[in-house]
């Protein structure tokens, strides 16, 4: 993958689910659920030193997972699975907080606002 290239999280999860080395053990079930969501994944050379992946919010308030182009070479397959699951949870949560689209997300948004504000 090249810097600036974008793929969908669904593509990455489908690949990872078919490759037993990516989503191991308990991650397999989580990956099956998370694969239903479609979060853009962008290759970025601008991540800070030592950061292989992070979740950002774009100008429209939607989550984008940013990954370092070298993560394929520097991170084991099982760790890639862990990182992708971790970032997907951030992305889905941020989307629900920033722009709830369902009744359940709206309830989550209101409860989180009451707790943290």
DSSP character at residue 41: E
Question: Per the structure block, which two tokens stand in for 49?
Answer: 């030193």
Q: What is the pLDDT of residue 62?
A: 87
The residue count of the chain comes to 117
Q: Please, are residues 30 and 81 in contact by the beta-carbon 8 Å criterion?
A: no
If the chain, 117 residues long, is cut into consecutive pieces of 10 residues, what is the mean pLDDT of each piece? Answer: 72 79 81 86 88 90 89 85 91 88 90 89
For 107, the 3-state DSSP assignment is helix
pLDDT of residue 3: 59
- Give the model's pLDDT for residue 31: 84
- In tens, the pLDDT along 35-65 reads 888 899 998 888 998 899 999 998 888 899 9
User: What's the half-sphere exposure (Cβ side, CA atoms, 13 Å) at 47?
Assistant: 21
Residue 37 exposure: Cα atoms within 13 Å on the Cβ side:
23
Using alpha carbons, select from 98, 96, 116 the residue that is nearest to residue 107. 96
- Whether 66 contacts 88, CB under 8 Å: no
Read off φ and ψ for residue 14, nearest 5 degrees. Answer: -60, -45
- Predicted pLDDT at 56: 92
Whole-model pTM over 0.85: no
pLDDT value of residue 36: 85
pLDDT at residue 53, rounded to an integer: 93
Q: Where are the beta strands (DSSP E) in 37-82?
A: 40-43, 53-57, 63-67
Domain extent listing, the chain: 6-116
Fold exhibited by the domain 6-116: Zincin-like (3.30.2010)
């Amino acid at each position: 993958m090249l810097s600036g290239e974008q793929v969908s999280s669904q593509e990455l999860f489908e690949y990872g689910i078919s490759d037993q080395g990516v989503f191991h053990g308990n991650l397999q079930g989580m990956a099956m659920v998370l694969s239903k969501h479609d979060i853009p994944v962008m290759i970025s050379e601008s991540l800070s030193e030592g950061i292989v992946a992070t979740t950002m919010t774009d100008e429209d308030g939607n989550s984008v997972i940013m990954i370092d182009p070298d993560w394929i070479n520097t991170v084991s397959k099982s760790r890639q699975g862990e990182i992708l699951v971790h970032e997907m949870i951030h992305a889905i949560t941020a989307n629900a907080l920033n722009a709830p689209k369902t009744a359940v997300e709206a309830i989550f948004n209101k409860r989180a606002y009451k707790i943290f504000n």
